[in-house]
């Protein structure tokens, strides 16, 4: 294993305290149950409580330690290159609603921070999507044109404060960045009291719509008039959101940089291989965050290479002093580029979801919370129809078809992996698929030489998990469930651990 630099933890989590909410201990009843405490769930809970509803937020781990605790935390409507595509595939009216609703989410965050004086390193910044080659310049120019048509604060620039030349960039003015976990911890602390609750370390196992709805957890049952499932990808299989999105994993390093060498603003490259760049204030200095290396979950085993690539890029492009952090996370990409927000299925009356933020959930998760709160409060939200979670599914798009075929290939093809390999073939520090008594086993040998043997069959829908060496986890290539090397759930959609073998 290569020697990787930096602490293996998200900077956002490392620089904030635990919230220490209790687990559920008694059955109870509230107006609205919110499953999952990331940015989507916490925003919805905040708005509902402000409107006088009683809420219970249930989190399987700790508040904002999922994707929202591992993000790059740019708050922008510049989603790499999207507006020319949206106009082409969905029409100008829908593209305009997408643009305006994401801009509204930025302003919601800004207003919330200002009104409650939240100490979360919020600052207004310009956002850029750049290309270093003339070949991609046409796409950049098309994006500027599309964004201007939609009323977005866009311009074309050739000069930036990046320490290397670019061919051109789309620039959006008056965007923002923040410390996502400081922001979310502040919001969640306003929830408990007056009949509302927050529970950590409480895993939801089942959501049933009835009058009232029933949410079964590993610690008890909660009843409510409405349920919002904001577990990044819904843990409920109805609605088939795992088939309308695909899970994309990506990597971040945090490097110490002096102010005179740090770029101003937030950046992302265009094209297939790209890097995402921003700084954040830390302990009187600055950390430069550089992200990249994205791939479909469960399709890359040697993920240490992703960190090495980021480290090399960061050291060679910026005069950094040290690499202090490295972490990774994943988000679900909507195949038609628009998130799914609203009722779980066309028949649902009281169960809501939000997913498919396509790595832009700081705005899209915020606006999901706004839409879902409005819907439950009976307020017409102008963006709700665009994001309707029950809209016609895009299985017929080339990306949708490929995703379905990929899952089929994994379901069948991965069953052949590990044949002829046994536990002796697993080296120290390594995870491998092996066969024991004819069964497919996911085996990891820890540094002390002890084997941790688990069933390799994902409890979600039965695909075979794959080893992720950088995180020492078992990742499912079908719909992105992840498990620790001891088999505990790390990421939805599954709610069940891998069986111990």
Ligand X SMILES: Cc1cc2nc3c(=O)[nH]c(=O)nc-3n(C[C@H](O)[C@H](O)[C@H](O)COP(=O)(O)OP(=O)(O)OC[C@H]3O[C@@H](n4cnc5c(N)ncnc54)[C@H](O)[C@@H]3O)c2cc1C
Residues that bind ligand X (CB under 6 A): 35-41, 58-61, 65-68, 71-74, 203-204, 230-232, 235, 250, 252, 291, 329-331, 357, 359-363, 365, 492, 495
Instruction: Please name which of 143, 153, 151, 175 lies closest in space to residue 76, comparing C-alpha atoms.
Output: 175
Residue number, 240 or 427, with CB nearest to ligand FES: 240
Contact 202, 24 (CB under 8 A): yes
- The minimum distance between CB 203 and ligand X, in angstroms, equals 5
Secondary structure (H, E, C), 272-332: CCCEEEEEEEECCEEEEEEEEEEEECCCCCCCHHHHHHHHHHHHHHCCCCEEEEEEEEEEE
Contact 34, 54 (CB under 8 A): no
Residue number, 199 or 241, with CB nearest to ligand FES: 241
Residue 270 CA to residue 84 CA, distance in Å, equals 14
Peptide bond into 212 cis (omega under 30): yes
- The minimum distance between CB 341 and ligand FES, in angstroms, equals 22
Residue number, 182 or 460, with CB nearest to ligand FES: 460
| Residue 361, token pair as written in the block | 């959930």
Q: What are all long-range contacts of 416-419, with beta carbons under 8 Å and residues at least 24 apart? A: 417/464, 418/456
Q: Name the binder of 304 from ligand FES, ligand X, none, CB < 5-8 A by kind.
A: none
Q: Name the binder of 463 from ligand X, ligand FES, none, CB < 5-8 A by kind.
A: ligand FES
- The minimum distance between CB 497 and ligand X, in angstroms, equals 12
Residues whose CB falls within 8 Å of the CB of residue 412, separated by 6 or more in sequence, listed in order: none
- The minimum distance between CB 348 and ligand FES, in angstroms, equals 21
- The minimum distance between CB 445 and ligand X, in angstroms, equals 28
Residue number, 275 or 411, with CB nearest to ligand FES: 411
Q: Name the binder of 233 from ligand FES, ligand X, none, CB < 5-8 A by kind.
A: none
- The minimum distance between CB 428 and ligand X, in angstroms, equals 30
- The minimum distance between CB 81 and ligand FES, in angstroms, equals 29
**Strand order of the sheet with strand 473-475?**
466-468, 473-475, 482-484, 489-491
Residue 333 CA to residue 40 CA, distance in Å, equals 16
Residue number, 453 or 492, with CB nearest to ligand FES: 492
Residue number, 212 or 293, with CB nearest to ligand X: 293
Q: What is the DSSP letter of 24?
A: P
Based on its alpha-carbon atoms, the radius of gyration of the chain, rounded to whole angstroms, reads 22
Q: Name the binder of 361 from ligand X, ligand FES, none, CB < 5-8 A by kind.
A: ligand X
Longest dimension (CA), the chain: 63
Residue number, 71 or 351, with CB nearest to ligand X: 71
Q: Name the binder of 331 from ligand FES, ligand X, none, CB < 5-8 A by kind.
A: ligand X
- The minimum distance between CB 420 and ligand X, in angstroms, equals 36
**Phi and psi at residue 104, to the nearest 5°:** -65, -35
Q: What DSSP assignment string belongs to 378-444?
A: T---TTHHHHBTTSPPGGGSHHHHHHHHHHHHHHHHGGGTTTT--GGG--TT-EEEEEETTEEEEEE
- The minimum distance between CB 364 and ligand X, in angstroms, equals 6
* Alpha-carbon dihedral angle through residues 93, 94, 98, 104, given to the nearest 10 degrees: 50
Q: Name the binder of 461 from ligand FES, ligand X, none, CB < 5-8 A by kind.
A: ligand FES
Residue 328 CA to residue 294 CA, distance in Å, equals 10
Residues whose CB falls within 8 Å of the CB of residue 446, separated by 6 or more in sequence, listed in order: 428, 429, 452, 485
| Residue 315, token pair as written in the block | 């050291």
Q: Name the binder of 68 from ligand X, ligand FES, none, CB < 5-8 A by kind.
A: ligand X
Place of tokens 């708050």: 75
Q: Name the binder of 268 from ligand X, ligand FES, none, CB < 5-8 A by kind.
A: none
Residue number, 368 or 426, with CB nearest to ligand X: 368
Residue number, 66 or 212, with CB nearest to ligand X: 66
- The minimum distance between CB 42 and ligand X, in angstroms, equals 8
Q: Name the binder of 478 from ligand FES, ligand X, none, CB < 5-8 A by kind.
A: ligand FES
Residue number, 275 or 395, with CB nearest to ligand FES: 395
Q: Name the binder of 479 from ligand FES, ligand X, none, CB < 5-8 A by kind.
A: ligand FES
Task: Give the residues lining the site for ligand FES (CB under 6 A).
Answer: 242, 458, 460-463, 476, 478-481, 493-494
């Amino acid at each position: 294993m290569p020697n990787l630099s930096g602490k293996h933890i998200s900077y956002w989590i490392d620089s904030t305290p635990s919230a220490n909410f209790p687990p559920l201990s008694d059955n109870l009843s509230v107006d609205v149950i919110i499953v999952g405490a990331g940015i989507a769930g916490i925003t919805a809970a905040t708005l509902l409580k402000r409107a006088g509803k009683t809420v219970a937020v249930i989190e399987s781990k700790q508040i904002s330690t999922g994707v929202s605790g591992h993000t790059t935390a740019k708050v922008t409507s510049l989603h790499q290159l999207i507006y020319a595509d949206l106009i082409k595939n969905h029409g100008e009216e829908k593209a305009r609603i997408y643009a305006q609703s994401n801009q509204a989410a930025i302003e919601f965050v800004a207003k919330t921070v200002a009104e409650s004086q939240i100490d979360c390193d919020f600052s207004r910044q310009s956002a850029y999507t750049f290309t270093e080659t003339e070949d991609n310049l046409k796409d950049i120019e098309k994006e500027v044109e599309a964004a201007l048509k939609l009323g977005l604060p866009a311009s074309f620039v050739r000069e930036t404060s990046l320490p290397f030349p670019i061919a051109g960039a789309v620039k959006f003015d008056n965007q923002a960045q923040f410390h996502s976990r400081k922001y979310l911890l502040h919001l969640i602390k306003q929830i408990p009291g007056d009949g509302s609750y927050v529970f950590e370390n409480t895993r939801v196992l089942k959501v049933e719509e009835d009058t009232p709805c029933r949410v079964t957890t590993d610690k008890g049952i909660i009843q409510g008039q409405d349920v919002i499932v904001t577990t990044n990808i819904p843990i409920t299989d109805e609605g088939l959101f795992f088939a309308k999105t695909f899970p994309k994993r990506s990597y971040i390093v945090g490097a110490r940089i002096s102010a005179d060498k740090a770029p101003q603003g937030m950046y992302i490259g265009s094209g297939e291989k790209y890097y995402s760049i921003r700084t954040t204030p830390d302990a009187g200095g600055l950390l430069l965050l550089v992200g990249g290396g994205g791939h479909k979950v469960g399709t890359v085993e040697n993920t240490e290479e992703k960190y090495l690539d980021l480290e090399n890029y960061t050291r060679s492009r910026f005069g950094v002093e040290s690499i202090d952090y490295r972490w990774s996370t994943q988000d679900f990409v909507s195949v038609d580029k628009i998130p799914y927000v609203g009722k779980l299925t066309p028949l649902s009356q009281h169960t809501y979801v939000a997913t498919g933020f396509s790595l832009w959930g700081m705005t899209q998760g915020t606006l999901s919370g706004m839409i879902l709160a409005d819907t439950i409060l009976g307020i017409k939200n102008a963006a709700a129809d665009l994001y309707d979670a029950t809209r016609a599914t895009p299985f017929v798009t080339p990306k949708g078809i490929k995703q379905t075929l990929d899952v089929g290939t994994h379901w069948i093809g991965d069953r052949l992996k590990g044949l002829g390999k046994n536990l002796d073939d697993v080296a120290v520090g390594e995870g491998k698929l092996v066969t024991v008594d004819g069964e497919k086993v996911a085996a990891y040998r820890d540094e002390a030489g002890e084997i941790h043997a688990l069933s390799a069959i994902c409890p979600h829908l039965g695909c075979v998990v794959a080893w992720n060496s950088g995180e020492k986890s078992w990742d499912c290539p079908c719909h992105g469930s992840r498990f620790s090397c001891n088999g505990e759930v790390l990421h939805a959609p599954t709610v069940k651990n891998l069986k111990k073998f």
